[in-house]
Chain A
Amino acid sequence: MKKIRLQKPQAVAPSVSSQPEVPFSSDLEQNMEWLKNQYIRCSDLIDRQFTIGGSRQRKAAVFYFDGMTSSHVVHDNILQPLLLDAEIAWEDAENDADLKKYFSFVKQHLLPAGEITIVDDLQQGSLAMMNGDVLLLLDGCPQGFIVDAKGFPQRSVDNARNEIVLRGPQEAFTEALRVNTALIRRRLRTSQLKFEEKTLGRYTQTQVAMVYLEGVANDHIIAEVQRRLDNIKDVDSILDGSCLEQYIEDAPFSIFPQLQYTERPDKVAASLLEGRVALIVDGSPDVLLLPLMFVQLLQSPEDYYNRVASGTFMRWIRYMGLLIATTFPSLYVAVTSYHPEMLPLNLLLSIAAAREGVPFPAFVEALIMELAFELLREASIRLPGAIGNTIGIVGALVIGEAAVSAHLVAPQMVIVVAITAIGSFTVPSVEASYPIRLVRFPLMLLAAAFGLYGVMLGLLAVMIHLVHLRSFGFPYLEPLAPLKINELRDVLIRAPRWQMMVRPQFREPDVQSEQSATGSFWRRTVQPLKTRGDESRGQ
């Protein structure tokens, strides 16, 4: 058999940002030629050459991409002042022959745009155009003016689709980075809220913003995130947050997520207040939160908006849902196949009677039903909304009923799979539902091979993996293992806010308390921030 030798990856063109600088020429024609050569066969490039009004009659040109900029801004804030108003304005400075002053005058008086940046590098100007800005070139000027005129089409702020809550804010992030930063800034009105931006991706030139609260977030985490982002070099694209996640996570082959996705600005704000760091990727409606602890996957923002008892109750329902979704089919297989003595006699007889005529062992039954359910779930997601829902309901009813009638599966198995499915829906985060589904199948196989012993083996293997896993240096199972008793009040229960005064482990140690000690709760005991005793954390 012929061996196929894998070829070394070919060297590809370096990204725009990493290409050598191309300084602006004082000759407008040269600059225009360079830009046109760069964007040859790019039909969406608009280049408009004109002459600035006034006695100087200086040549100028604007470059921008059609659809990326706001034509209103281009006309009203760039072209109109330069073509029409310049004549009036320039009269005052007619005697000044200094070119620098002339260009400064253009910037100061003739461009009523919100943000104008002067650059010396044509590459930077080119990059700005791709971000939706307008590049203004003036003859004789060895610099370019980047005028903020972004106006690309974008979705308006809408309700959250995946993280639905009954109480609390409803709005969700969009695909536009600037809209997303604004949604966060609206909630955290402090100068300590920092957005550090970086461009990634050779072809996509994606803007990525690292968000944190200075003085609250742990410096080790910030430095580590920066280090990991800096290590992303020579990649073609960052199309979504999930692409970025794969470059910076601790264990890429783990089935468990190590960064949390959210589409809710209030959740990001709360996480930043805990000292976590957020990553916003332009073009992605989800924000990444890190570090991630496993228990956070089972927490919903609604827990904190509801009353304490309701929040705690719902949280325990979710824990139960997680347990059922992971182990119920395998426990059923193990008990019915290996340990029937555990069941009460009546139930055992009922199961035996129902399974009479079913040609398969319990494991195969469970496998058939679980696979059918996964197929239905996948199909209902891919189909348009109404049809998808119909397929889900009809498919489940029809297939379940037909399978029982045909004696392919016992009715109990349909119940087991249905309860398992309901259990998996209680988990609030989408990214947590995948590992649950992935763990379920090997557990079923182990249950079929070794009974309850097999289930325990499987669960132990999962636990061994989980205790080993870290998210940006923090143990994944914290605060359960290693045990942080103070933080259990936000895990085992949802304590009142005034009782959750000890900062989570992400916090900067020298910040004393989450809120001021004054308040309406006479019972409140403000505890000082507990510094993390374990020296291994945060490394």
Chain B
Amino acid sequence: MGSSKLISTRELFYIVLLLHQGGVFWVLPYLQVKENGTASLVSLLSGLLLGALIIAVCAFWGSRCRETTFIPSLTQLLGKPLGKIVGLLFVLFYAAFAVISLYTCIEVIGGQLLLETPRTLLICTVFLLVGWLSWNGLEDMARLTVLCVVLVAAILLLALAGSVELFSVENLLPLELRSVDDVRPALLHSTFAYSGLMILFMIYPALNQTRRAASGMLLAMVVSTGIFVVWVLLALGVFGQFSTGSMIWLPLELARMIRISSFLERTEALFAVLWLAIVFVNSSLLLWSVSESLHQLLERQKSRWLHWGLVTLMALACMQIKDILRMFALEWQLARGSVVLLPLLLVLVLAGSWLYGRRKGGAPQ
């Protein structure tokens, strides 16, 4: 599980893309339109600011503390007690994000495709594979992202091609900004969607070269946001504002409308399982981050027991979420917490990196 220099800048691009796409793909368009109507595009784009901030801090930290991985460097930057506490907060955040991401996927599969299959069985199968992939390490996940990006493109093309005849520009109107009270939750959801990028702090030390890494990550984020914008536009154009705000699984509903000639009448099952691959890689990255940072926090060598114990624990946590409403409640709590916590963590890392650089003579490495 060591972070030797294994990841290329191109692979980092794909990782960022999938991190953003995989985590909140199913629910973000719904949450945005529900809270903010046609103005959801604005709140969606505003999340970019947090994403850009995360990337900037990550790159700054990377330029100062290249010699150690993230969690150990926190104790160097902030001192041992504070460093450990901040590290633990990061671990908890990664874990919660991973559980939410996987539960959403299981909810789609169990609630829409396999109605009679026990959720416990679905959770076990998902966590087994995710645990296996994350155990294999970051290099394997980075390679898998390359293959998954093809799926992202294929699904998007499928949706675009299938819904073009159903699309109506009139459904996009009227363009209106709602009250500040309505915009605030949309902003919270949007920023939460970008907070998955926090695991870049774990991935960054594994880069085999940092040149153009920051610009690559930014580009990936912009592309990913663009994809979300396309989804929201498609959903609004096809269903209209009112219907869109009442459909939880918007991409799935959109896929239901798609018909590939007279060969495939309904494609949502295909669509959902293709997206499953993307969620898998995303969740594996998150799980790897939890496991890796926990190993580093406890100063342990790679331990099979610790990793699989953690996987079991997270699977059990996933089983505790009984339905989608509770998942939304959890997501909402995390979103509120993260809006306060994440900037604070970022500022701490930023300040620590700056001070550390000054102590070392200001020479970035």
Partner among B5, B143, B208, B264 whose Cβ is within 8 Å of the Cβ of A481? B143
Q: Cβ of A467: which chain B residues have Cβ within 8 Å of it?
A: 136, 140, 143-144
Q: Cβ of A338: which chain B residues have Cβ within 8 Å of it?
A: 113-114, 269
Q: Are B136 and A533 in contact (CB under 8 A)?
A: no
Q: State the CA gap A475–B265 with chains docked (Å).
A: 39
Interfacial residues of chain B within 124-169, with CB under 8 A of chain A in the complex: 125, 129, 132-133, 136, 139-140, 142-144, 146-147
Q: A463-B144, A475-B143 are in contact. Are A483 and B117 (CB under 8 A)?
A: no
Q: A338-B113, A342-B267, A464-B133 are in contact. Are A450 and B125 (CB under 8 A)?
A: yes
Q: Cβ of B144: which chain A residues have Cβ within 8 Å of it?
A: 463-464, 467, 481
Q: Are B276 and A456 in contact (CB under 8 A)?
A: yes
Q: Are B143 and A342 in contact (CB under 8 A)?
A: no
Q: Cβ of B5: which chain A residues have Cβ within 8 Å of it?
A: 535-536
**A375 at the binding interface (Cβ < 8 Å):** no
Q: State the CA gap A344–B265 with chains docked (Å).
A: 6
**B277 at the binding interface (Cβ < 8 Å):** yes
Q: Are A461 and B129 in contact (CB under 8 A)?
A: yes
Q: Are A456 and B274 in contact (CB under 8 A)?
A: yes
The interface of chain A, by Cβ under 8 A from chain B, is: 338-339, 341-345, 450-453, 455-457, 459-461, 463-464, 467-468, 475, 477, 480-483, 533-536
Interfacial residues of chain B within 263-283, with CB under 8 A of chain A in the complex: 263-267, 269-270, 272-274, 276-277, 280
**B46 at the binding interface (Cβ < 8 Å):** no
Q: State the CA gap A459–B273 with chains docked (Å).
A: 11
Q: Cβ of B11: which chain A residues have Cβ within 8 Å of it?
A: 482-483
Partner among A456, A468, A477, A483 whose Cβ is within 8 Å of the Cβ of B10? A483
Q: Cβ of A477: which chain B residues have Cβ within 8 Å of it?
A: 143
Q: Are B129 and A341 in contact (CB under 8 A)?
A: no
**B215 at the binding interface (Cβ < 8 Å):** no
Q: Are A452 and B270 in contact (CB under 8 A)?
A: yes
Q: Cβ of A475: which chain B residues have Cβ within 8 Å of it?
A: 143
Report which residue of B113, B143, B144, B269 has the largest number of chain A beta carbons within 10 angstroms of its beta carbon: B143
Min CB gap B25→A, angstroms: 16
Q: State the CA gap A463–B278 with chains docked (Å).
A: 13
Q: State the CA gap A534–B12 with chains docked (Å).
A: 13
**B6 at the binding interface (Cβ < 8 Å):** yes
**B109 at the binding interface (Cβ < 8 Å):** yes
Q: Cβ of A455: which chain B residues have Cβ within 8 Å of it?
A: 273
Q: Are A460 and B113 in contact (CB under 8 A)?
A: no
Q: Cβ of A342: which chain B residues have Cβ within 8 Å of it?
A: 264-267, 269-270
Closest to B139 in A: A536
Partner among B140, B209, B265 whose Cβ is within 8 Å of the Cβ of A464? B140
Closest to A461 in B: B129
Can you list 8 A-B contacts (CB < 8 A)?
A341-B269, A342-B269, A450-B125, A453-B272, A457-B129, A460-B276, A463-B144, A533-B209
Q: Are A464 and B117 in contact (CB under 8 A)?
A: no
Q: Cβ of B125: which chain A residues have Cβ within 8 Å of it?
A: 450, 457
Q: Mark B5-34, 1 if CB is under 8 A from A, else 0.
A: 110101100000000000000000000000
Q: State the CA gap A400–B274 with chains docked (Å).
A: 34
Q: Are A341 and B113 in contact (CB under 8 A)?
A: no
Q: Cβ of A468: which chain B residues have Cβ within 8 Å of it?
A: 136, 140
Q: State the CA gap A343–B264 with chains docked (Å).
A: 5
Q: State the CA gap A477–B11 with chains docked (Å).
A: 15
Q: A457-B129, A534-B208 are in contact. Are A451 and B262 (CB under 8 A)?
A: no
**B68 at the binding interface (Cβ < 8 Å):** no
Number of residues of chain B lying within 8 A (CB) of chain A: 39
Q: Are B208 and A483 in contact (CB under 8 A)?
A: no
Closest to B137 in A: A468
Q: State the CA gap A452–B114 with chains docked (Å).
A: 10
Q: Are A463 and B8 in contact (CB under 8 A)?
A: no
Q: A344-B262, A481-B147 are in contact. Are A464 and B142 (CB under 8 A)?
A: no
Q: Are A341 and B266 in contact (CB under 8 A)?
A: yes
**B4 at the binding interface (Cβ < 8 Å):** yes
Closest to B110 in A: A453
Min CB gap A295→B, angstroms: 13
Q: Cβ of A461: which chain B residues have Cβ within 8 Å of it?
A: 129, 132
Q: Cβ of A345: which chain B residues have Cβ within 8 Å of it?
A: 265
Q: State the CA gap A455–B263 with chains docked (Å).
A: 20
Interfacial residues of chain B within 247-293, with CB under 8 A of chain A in the complex: 262-267, 269-270, 272-274, 276-277, 280
Q: State the CA gap A316–B142 with chains docked (Å).
A: 26
Min CB gap A486→B, angstroms: 13
Min CB gap B109→A, angstroms: 5
Q: Cβ of B274: which chain A residues have Cβ within 8 Å of it?
A: 456
Q: Are A456 and B277 in contact (CB under 8 A)?
A: yes
User: Given A344-B262, A450-B117, 6 more contacts at CB 8 Å?
Assistant: A345-B265, A453-B276, A455-B273, A456-B277, A481-B147, A535-B5
Q: State the CA gap A535–B207 with chains docked (Å).
A: 11
Min CB gap A110→B, angstroms: 64
Partner among A339, A343, A463, A482 whose Cβ is within 8 Å of the Cβ of B142? A482
Q: Are A460 and B277 in contact (CB under 8 A)?
A: yes
Q: A339-B269, A460-B280 are in contact. Are A536 and B133 (CB under 8 A)?
A: no
Q: State the CA gap A482–B274 with chains docked (Å).
A: 21
Min CB gap B185→A, angstroms: 32
Min CB gap B286→A, angstroms: 16
Nearest first, the 10 closest Cβ-Cβ pairs linking A and B are: A481-B143, A456-B273, A467-B143, A339-B269, A341-B266, A481-B146, A452-B273, A467-B140, A483-B146, A464-B133
Q: Cβ of A464: which chain B residues have Cβ within 8 Å of it?
A: 129, 132-133, 136, 140, 144
Q: State the CA gap A342–B274 with chains docked (Å).
A: 15
Q: Are A453 and B147 in contact (CB under 8 A)?
A: no
Q: State the CA gap A483–B8 with chains docked (Å).
A: 10
Partner among B6, B129, B269 whose Cβ is within 8 Å of the Cβ of A452? B269
Q: State the CA gap A534–B262 with chains docked (Å).
A: 46
Min CB gap B207→A, angstroms: 11
Q: Cβ of B208: which chain A residues have Cβ within 8 Å of it?
A: 533-536
Q: State the CA gap A342–B132 with chains docked (Å).
A: 32
Q: State the CA gap A496–B168 with chains docked (Å).
A: 46
